[in-house]
Copies of this chain bind each other. A is one copy, B any other.
């Protein structure tokens, strides 16, 4: 359970965050997003369901503040020393009148941050309005700065070691997709296919296994494909269904996504025509992605292909992907859509996600890619044609 990266790498990440804090005149930062906590220190545990933060300063190691029964995970998964662990007791777990963040406010005050400028994440999953109001009430005279996504933007360009980790994640999802292809058929229950997919995602290969993917694996079969994120059921697949599979592989919390489409039995010509257009669109996107272009350029390349075929898709066609816990593997930074002016750089990693959700069926095609010095490299490698199961 050692940290996934070298101590040097974590130190480089911390330096990057501190520079970003300094640019905004932030004295300390409250980090509630477990992905950011992990990225910065390696901290890894299923403890985000109770209040916990990583407290970042300019002169001390990051300090974990969380539930006492989870404190052991700091020693197991990070390079942090015992003085970086500030646990709160069980008396403050899910109590109506004693919030853990009241105690965390005391920790922060005792460290000398009353009256200081403290950044926080305003729009992350595991830092609630109540948590914020407890801190605001408990740290005297602090000035609270909305620094949402500050760490996320530090994460956008990956290290080579992170890209290597995502390559391993890609191996995991390729294996899972292969298992799906080998086992999907009319009459097979969705839950039984998903059981095999999950087993492969986690069992992995002889070299390494996997984690739970941050995004739940998705099966879009038949009319369920009229919505983008349905949950699987006990129902058997049916002859004639078009089935989109959006799967992931996750290695040390780094995710790779991969979506493909299967046609059970004879599909309508429109499925195959749409698939051809989508593949053409994917080529256009991959030919566009390279250092120096804007994220929006990729969307425009895609749109020009859609226009030619008379198709419409309103949602973005990709986003930055990397380290993530449930419920999302997107990093909430770069989006491939017309108005995103982010300039792409080498070692950015994106999930290019082309989903076409029609009135009574849907298809998906995606790749997890890394921007290289001169273009783009698909980390995921898998046959792109719609697979027909007859």
Smallest CB gap from A2: residue in B = B233
Q: Which residues of B contact A89 (CB under 8 A)?
A: 314
**Complex interface: chain B residues within 8 A of A48 (CB):** 327
Segment among A55-63, A223-231, A262-270 that sits at the interface with chain B: A223-231
Interface pair A327/B49, CB less than 8 Å apart: yes
Q: In the complex, what residues of B have CB within 8 A of residue A232's CB?
A: 209, 211
Q: Is the CB of A209 within 8 A of B191?
A: yes
Is A157 engaged at the interface, CB distance under 8 Å to the other chain? no
Q: Which of A201-234 contact B (CB under 8 A)?
A: 202-204, 208-212, 215-216, 218, 223-224, 226-234
Q: Which residue of B lies closest to A71 (CB)?
A: B227
Check A93 against B46 for contact (C-beta < 8 Å).
Answer: no
Give A131 to B132 CA distance when docked, in angstroms: 13
Decide if A198 touches B202 in the complex (CB within 8 Å): yes
Instruction: Kindly list chain B residues whose C-beta atoms are within 8 Å of the C-beta of A126.
Output: 125, 327
Stretch in A5-13, A16-24, A328-336 with 4+ CB within 8 Å of B: A328-336
Q: By the criterion CB–CB under 8 Å, are A70 and B229 in contact?
A: yes
Across the interface, which residues of B come within 8 angstroms of A325, CB to CB? 327
> A192: which B residues are within 8 A, CB to CB?
203, 209
Assuming the contacts A123-B129, A130-B122, A148-B130, asked whether A210 and B224 have C-beta atoms less than 8 A apart, the reply is: no
B191 engages A195 (CB within 8 Å) = no
Known: A94-B319, A315-B69. A231 touches B191 (CB 8 A): no
In the bound assembly, the distance between CA atoms of A73 and B229 in angstroms comes to 8
Is A127 engaged at the interface, CB distance under 8 Å to the other chain?
Answer: yes
Instruction: Say if the beta carbon of A343 comes within 8 Å of chain B.
Output: no
Looking at the assembled complex, report how far the CB atom of A329 sits from the nearest CB atom of chain B, in whole angstroms: 9
Instruction: Determine how many copies of this chain the complex contains.
Output: 2
B191 touches A202 (CB 8 A): yes
Asked if residues B189 and A194 are in contact (CB atoms below 8 Å), the reply is no
Is the beta-carbon distance between B216 and A46 smaller than 8 angstroms?
yes
User: Which of A234, A235, A325 has the most CB atoms of chain B within a 10 A radius of its CB?
Assistant: A234
Residues of chain B with a CB closer than 8 A to A330's CB: 49, 94
Which residues of chain B are near A90, meaning CB under 8 Å? 314-316, 337
A116-142: contact bitstring with B at CB < 8 Å (1 yes, 0 no)?
A: 000010111111111111000000000
What are the residues of chain B within 8 A of A189 when measuring CB–CB? 209
* Chain A stretch 36-51: residues in CB contact (< 8 A) with chain B: 44-49
Give chain A's interface residues, CB within 8 Å of chain B: 1, 44-49, 68-73, 76, 89-90, 93-96, 99, 120, 122-133, 146, 148-149, 189-192, 194-196, 198-200, 202-204, 208-212, 215-216, 218, 223-224, 226-235, 314-316, 319, 325-328, 330, 332, 335, 337, 357
5 examples of A-B residue contacts, CB within 8 angstroms: A46-B327, A47-B228, A124-B128, A125-B125, A194-B203
Beyond the given A191-B202, A191-B210, please list 9 additional residue pairs across the A-B interface where CB-CB is below 8 A: A1-B231, A44-B231, A49-B330, A70-B229, A71-B227, A76-B226, A122-B133, A125-B126, A194-B209
Q: List the 8 shortest-distance A-B pairs measured between CB atoms, nearest first.
A: A191-B209, A72-B227, A195-B203, A49-B328, A123-B130, A69-B228, A46-B229, A122-B130
